[in-house]
């Protein structure tokens, strides 16, 4: 069975040309067969998934689907708590953690009818990876299993790219949805900070953490996001505002939209590969031809965002892990425990100076957002690198394109913009103003439709 998109699957369920039970069964079979090579899953929940699929099928046959995702096979990054199913953060530290409750987003997707096939690989606690000394191996990139998936939502990116789930949860603190989205060639949105609940999600850095979806298409991301937005009084970061409609206008086009290309990010601050530049240019052309007005945005240097962002991320992560580091240091993988040890060297004054800098950087970006509706830049410098080249200190050794919008809290989407000469995906990043998630999805959908790359799937090794 060719993997449908979520939109196609729902149409098939409604027309009774596609069976939720057969789809879930097929996805599970392929996922289990592929897992010894791609390692996207760390745990399957076959029995519960098949039972849920049977119930979904009965509802569709009766013409009474329970919600907008009824029967859709998904899976959750293993930092999302799942009632009765271990939630480990891909770490030895939480091997025995069996939550009593679902995370808020897990519950919301379940209520929408989505069917979880299991738990997905992640970098340890969303920061330590790719690591080979954890209880499970790191996920591999389905486009080339010798390559890195990006992280930390590595299993989600890999599983969606492999077509064994139609969507999944990720989290993004410095780029952890957008990087695997870019390197695995799938769509992923880091929603506006505060739009989606983090209740029941293992934290990394509270002032940067966001939950969000990855899926094969931007429209599918919108469907998944729609089922996870809304105020949650149990999450202190949750914005108390009405849940937006992020799906309804997705096909409305970009005519008149003001798009600011942050050229200095990807041409000067961190020059991208020629192929990546080509993908960016193609996305710009697609937007221009669809009626968008293209200009050039100037922000502070990428390095300035990364300096503040990494100080904040490291310090907040250290604060969370400090008690375990004292007693269970050797239970962490080498990458995470040593990154957290470096984080311990950040002083209180360093942290506050970083927050002051954040305030200034946010003001600079806000000024540009008066001129533009959407910012456009790379999501990654180029194609996925060989996994063994990913070093312990890679995050600190150079800037990334994603951290700026964790600092500002803005919604940021990755969409595939093309392929490298080696046939690996190249992700373009679109960024909107705070709570303009629908607009970002609309622009991403327009790019995706114009470029028509969605039919190209990875050739899987098994």
Partner 1 sequence: MADPLSRPVFDAVMARAGIVLSESEAEGIRAASAHVRGFAAAVRVPRPVSAEPAIVFAPRVA
- Minimum gap (Å) between residue 453 Cβ and partner 1: 34
Residue 64, burial from CB neighbour count under 10 angstroms (0-12, 13-18, 19+): exposed
Question: From the CB of 437, what's the least distance to partner 1, in Å?
Answer: 14
How far apart (Å, rounded) are the C-alpha atoms in residues 72 and 53? 9
90 neighbors 135 (Cβ within 8 angstroms): yes
> Using CA atoms, how far apart are residues 370 and 436, in angstroms rounded to an integer?
13
Q: Binders of partner 1: how many residues, by CB under 8 A?
A: 47
Binder to partner 1 among 54, 58, 274, 352 (CB under 8 A)? 352
Q: Peptide bond preceding 130: is omega within 30 degrees of 0, i.e. cis?
A: yes
State how far the Cα of 406 lies from the Cα of 208, in Å rounded to an integer: 5
According to CB under 8 A, which residues from 402 to 441 bind partner 1?
407-409, 434
- H helix or E strand, kind and range, residue 197: none
For residue 354, what are the CA distances in angstroms to 20, 315, 332, 351?
49, 10, 27, 5
Binding segment (CB under 8 A) for partner 1, from list 263-271, 288-296, 337-345, 418-426? 337-345
> Of 11-19, 223-231, 276-284, 351-359, which segment contacts partner 1 by CB under 8 A?
351-359
Nearest in space to 77 (alpha carbons), one of 107, 99, 106: 106
Maximum distance among all alpha carbons in the chain?
A: 62
Among 38, 108, 166, 314, binds partner 1 (CB under 8 A): 314
Cβ nearer to partner 1, comparing 58 with 344: 344
- Which 3 state secondary structure label does DSSP give 156? helix
The SS3 call for residue 458 is coil
**Binding residues for partner 1 restricted to 358-377, rule: CB under 8 A:** 358-363, 366
Active site positions, annotated: 77, 152, 176
**C-alpha closest to that of 46 among 131, 136, 106, 119:** 119
Residue of 1, 58, 344, 422 that binds partner 1 (CB under 8 A)? 344
Tell me phi and psi for residue 341, to 5 degrees.
-65, -40
By CB under 8 A, is residue 268 in contact with partner 1? no
Residues 6+ apart with CB under 8 A from 29: none
* Interacting positions 175-234 with partner 1 (CB under 8 A): 193-194, 207
Confirm or reject binding of residue 443 to partner 1 (CB under 8 A). Answer: no
Should residue 331 be labelled a site residue for partner 1 when binding is judged by CB under 8 A? no
Q: Work out whether 341 is an interface residue with partner 1 (CB under 8 A).
A: yes
**Token output for 5:** 């998109």
Other beta carbons within 10 Å of 263: 16
Which residue in 252, 291, 345, 386 binds partner 1 (CB under 8 A)?
Answer: 345
Contacts of 108 (CB under 8 A, 6+ apart): 197, 227, 228, 230
CB-nearer residue toward partner 1: 274 or 396? 396
Residue 271 CB, nearest approach to partner 1 (Å): 20
- Quick check: 326 binds partner 1 (CB under 8 A)? yes
Site string for partner 1, 274-313 (x = CB under 8 A): -----------------------------xx-xxx-xx--
Smallest separation (angstroms) from partner 1 to the CB of 431: 14
Q: Of the two residues 268 and 303, which places its CB atom closer to partner 1 in the complex?
A: 303
- Burial class of residue 2 (count of CB atoms within 10 Å of its CB; 0-12, 13-18, 19+): exposed
By beta-carbon proximity to partner 1, the closer residue of 178 and 358 is 358
- Minimum Å distance from CB 154 to partner 1? 22
CB-nearer residue toward partner 1: 31 or 302: 302
Under the rule (CB under 8 A), what is the footprint of partner 1?
Answer: 193-194, 207, 303-304, 306-308, 310-311, 314, 318, 322, 325-327, 329, 338, 341-347, 350, 352-363, 366, 392-393, 396-397, 407-409, 434
């Amino acid at each position: 069975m060719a993997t449908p998109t979520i939109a196609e699957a729902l149409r098939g369920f409604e027309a009774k040309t596609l069976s939720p039970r057969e789809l879930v069964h097929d996805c599970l079979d392929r996922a289990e067969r592929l897992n010894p090579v791609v390692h996207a899953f760390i745990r399957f929940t076959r029995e519960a998934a098949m039972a849920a699929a049977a119930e979904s099928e009965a509802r569709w046959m009766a013409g009474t689907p329970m919600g907008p995702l009824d029967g859709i096979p998904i899976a959750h990054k293993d930092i999302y708590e799942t009632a009765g199913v271990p939630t480990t953060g891909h770490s030895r530290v939480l091997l025995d953690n069996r939550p009593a409750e679902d995370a808020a987003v897990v519950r919301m997707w379940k209520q929408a009818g989505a069917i979880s096939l299991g738990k997905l690989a992640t970098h340890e606690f969303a920061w330590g990876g790719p690591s080979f000394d954890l209880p499970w191996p790191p996920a591999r990139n389905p486009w080339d299993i010798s390559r890195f998936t990006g992280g930390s939502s590595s299993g989600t990116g890999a599983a969606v790219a492999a077509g064994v789930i139609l969507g999944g949860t990720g989290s993004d603190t410095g780029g952890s949805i957008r990087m695997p989205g870019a390197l695995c060639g799938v769509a992923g949105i880091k929603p506006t900070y505060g739009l989606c609940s983090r209740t029941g999600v293992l934290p990394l850095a509270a002032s940067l953490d966001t939950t969000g979806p990855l899926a094969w298409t931007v429209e599918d991301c919108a469907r998944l996001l729609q089922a996870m937005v809304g105020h949650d009084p149990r999450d202190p970061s949750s914005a108390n505002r009405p849940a937006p409609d992020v799906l309804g206008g997705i096909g409305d086009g970009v005519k008149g939209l003001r798009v600011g290309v942050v050229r200095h990010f990807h041409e000067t601050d961190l020059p991208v590969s020629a192929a990546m530049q080509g993908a960016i240019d193609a996305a710009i052309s697609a937007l221009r031809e669809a009626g968008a007005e293209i200009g050039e945005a100037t922000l502070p240097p990428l390095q300035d965002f990364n300096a503040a962002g990494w100080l904040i991320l490291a310090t907040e992560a250290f604060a969370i892990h400090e008690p375990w580091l004292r007693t269970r240091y050797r239970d962490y993988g080498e990458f995470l425990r040593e990154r957290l040890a470096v984080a311990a060297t950040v002083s209180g004054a360093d942290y506050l100076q970083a927050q002051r800098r954040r305030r200034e950087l946010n003001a600079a970006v806000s000024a540009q957002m008066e001129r533009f509706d959407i910012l456009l830049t790379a999501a990654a410098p180029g194609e996925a690198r060989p996994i063994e080249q990913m070093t312990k200190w890679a995050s600190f050794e150079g800037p990334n394109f994603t951290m700026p919008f964790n600092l500002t809290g803005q919604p940021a989407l990755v969409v595939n913009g093309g392929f490298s000469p080696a046939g690996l995906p190249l992700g373009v990043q679109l960024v909107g103003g705070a709570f303009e998630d629908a607009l970002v999805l609309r622009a991403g959908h327009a790019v995706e439709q114009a470029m028509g790359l969605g039919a190209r799937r990875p050739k899987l090794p098994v």
